[in-house]
Amino acid sequence: MVRLKYIFIGFVIKLLISNISSQSLPFEKCGQHLSDFEENRILNWGYGYNDLLGDLVVWSQSPYVTIDSIGSSVQNRAIWELTISDNPSSTIYKRIYIHARTHPGEEESFWVANEIINFLLSDSPEANAIRSQCIFHIVPMHNPDGVELGYSRENANGIDIESGWDDSVIQPEVSALQNRFIDLSFVIPNPIEVALNMHSAYACKRYFVYHHETGTSDNFTLMEKNFISGIQAYYPGGFEDWNYFISWSNGTPDQYPESWWWLNYGENVMALTYEDMNCSEAGNYDLTADAIVKGVCDYIGVNLSNIKNDDLLPNGYKLYQNYPNPFNPTTLINFDIPEDSFVKVSVLDIKGREVSVILEGEQTAGSQSITWEAVDNYDNNLPSGVYLCLMKVNDYMSTKKMILLR
Ligand SMILES: [Zn+2]
């Protein structure tokens, strides 16, 4: 009798758990609170398919991007992919694949991908260096039907396309991505080395879903720790430690994109899910994107710290727009000088008063990058506001508007 009672309680608990997880509440690695659904889904969670089509037009102006459809959704919407590189057909460039918004209600994953795209298409010396050594493939909206239908996780067939990667009948969105992964990994000299699957979670933290050695290998977990910690180092306090969310401790599941990668390509591909914050505290997508791109570059051996030693000297003086902007409180200021020169870079407030001298002295020719922490010459924090970055070299003078938002 006692045993029966426990079995019954177990049964009720199991029912409760299956009911809860079908509503995407705890026990799932990502998702949002039910209370957020209604108001957000009406707005396609703030970014719909037409918004994407508009942005594709803008992005397509860049000489460094090609935009193509990798397939169609159930309702025949194109699934768009951006390829960013200065030589997309290179057979030696490093290849990275990023797809976002498999779960429509996790729009933060798009905002991070959006900043990754903006970073990679920017004029900064770092972006330039990345484009000349890498090919980035980015799918900003993997599940356009779900976005338009206001589903939180499913496609137009009502199926969660984050799983089902091993099903006998594969959903068209899954098939489009799988075929693309195969095309870019199988029998080509420079296969995909990093594959990121972008989501966001109500846990309200930024983290990577780490795979335990039981489901992978000892060697792979070392690579995972290295990868995650490397990204984290570029945005201290922004990301959780590698062990914040450990999955696969009971073995390799078979239904997810990362399962597919592991089962087919093993240690050759660093395939991970990234979870941004799905809560009102979400933000700093630019810092997040910057850290992810730089961490990925370090991991695959693309060196960005040697940019200033590049043999190719710039052919003119140039001050670039600071990045990120707006910023809080750290921002990067990049500039070019074609020959060794005396350079002054300073910051003026809105009334034209000099509030900070960031750099003043003889500099060697090349592209340079300096970090500014939004402090004055006495190391006092400057208040939020609009500032001007002023660069002077001989007769050359250039300014850029910078916005500090504390
Ligand atoms: Zn998700």
ipTM for the assembly: 0.99
H or E segment and range at residue 21: helix 2-22
Ion ligand 1: residues, CB < 5 A: 30, 103, 106, 199
Inside any domain, residue 6: no
Q: Do residues 355 and 274 share a domain?
A: no
Give 263 Cα–ligand 1 centroid separation in angstroms: 21
| Alpha carbons 211 and 220: distance in angstroms, whole number | 9
Alpha helices (H) in 23-160, listed in sequence order: 34-42, 49-59, 107-121, 125-131, 144-149
The confidence score (pLDDT) of residue 194 equals 98
Q: Which of 300, 330, 362 is the last residue of a domain?
A: 300
The pLDDT-based confidence of 33 (bands split at 50, 70, 90) is low
Among 300, 334, 357, identify where a domain stops. Answer: 300
For CA atoms 165, 167, 172, 178, give the dihedral sign: positive
Residues 252 and 358 in one domain: no
- 290 CA to centre of ligand 1 in angstroms: 21
Average pLDDT over residues 110-133: 94
Determine the pLDDT at residue 16. 36
| Distance (Å) from CA 103 to ligand 1 centroid | 5
Q: Are residues 256 and 114 part of one domain?
A: yes
HSE at residue 211, side-chain half, CA atoms within 13 A, is: 27
User: What are the tens digits of pLDDT across the range 320-369?
Assistant: 988 888 899 988 898 999 888 999 999 999 888 899 999 999 998 888 88
Give the pLDDT confidence score for residue 15 in this predicted structure.
Answer: 34
Q: Is residue 394 a part of any domain in this protein?
A: yes
| C-alpha 47 to ligand 1 mean position (Å) | 16
Mean predicted lDDT score pLDDT of the chain: 87
CA of 230 to the centre of ligand 1 (A): 23
Residues 100 and 223 in one domain: yes
Q: Which helix (H) or strand (E) holds 318?
A: strand 318-319
Asked if pLDDT for residue 27 goes beyond 50, the answer is: no
- Of the candidates 257, 131, 275, the one whose C-alpha atom is nearest the C-alpha of residue 208 is 275
Residues 178-195: tens digit of each pLDDT: 999 999 998 889 999 999
What pLDDT shows up at residue 43?
61
> Cα Rg for the chain, rounded, in angstroms?
23
**Is residue 119 within 8 Å of 24, Cβ to Cβ?**
no
**Peptide bond before residue 329 is cis, with ω within 30 degrees of 0:** yes
DSSP 134: E
Residues 124, 100 share a domain: yes
pLDDT tens readout for residues 310-331? 456 777 888 998 888 889 998 8
The arithmetic mean of pLDDT across residues 291-311, rounded, is 80
Structural domain boundaries enclosing 383: 310-404
Interhelix angle for 285-300 vs 107-121, to 10°? 60
Domain holding 276: CATH number?
A: 3.40.630.10
144 CA distance to ligand 1 centroid (A)?
14
Question: Are residue 258 and residue 391 in the same domain, yes or no?
Answer: no
| Shared-domain flag, residues 245 and 286 | yes
pLDDT of residue 213: 94
CA of 299 to the centre of ligand 1 (A): 24
Split at pLDDT 50, 70, 90, the class of 207 is: very high
Residue 17 domain-assigned (yes or no): no
Average pLDDT for 119-130: 93
**Judgement on whether residues 275 and 182 belong to the same structural domain of the protein:** yes
- Whether 8 maps to a domain, the answer reads no
Instruction: Tell me which residue of 299, 295, 279, 278 sits closest to 287, measured CA to CA.
Output: 295
15 CA → ligand 1 middle, Å? 23
Q: Flag whether 5 is in a domain.
A: no
What pLDDT, in 10s, does the model give residues 3-26? 333 333 333 333 333 333 333 334
Cα 159 to middle of ligand 1, angstroms? 13
Q: CA 87, CA 310: separation in Å to the nearest integer?
A: 19
Domain end (from 279, 300, 321):
300
CA–CA gap between residue 212 and residue 249 (Å, rounded)? 5
In a shared domain, residues 109 and 44: yes
| 293 within some domain | yes
> How many other C-beta atoms are found inside a 10 Å radius of the C-beta of residue 305?
12
Give me the number of domains the chain comprises. Answer: 2
Question: SS3 for 208?
Answer: strand
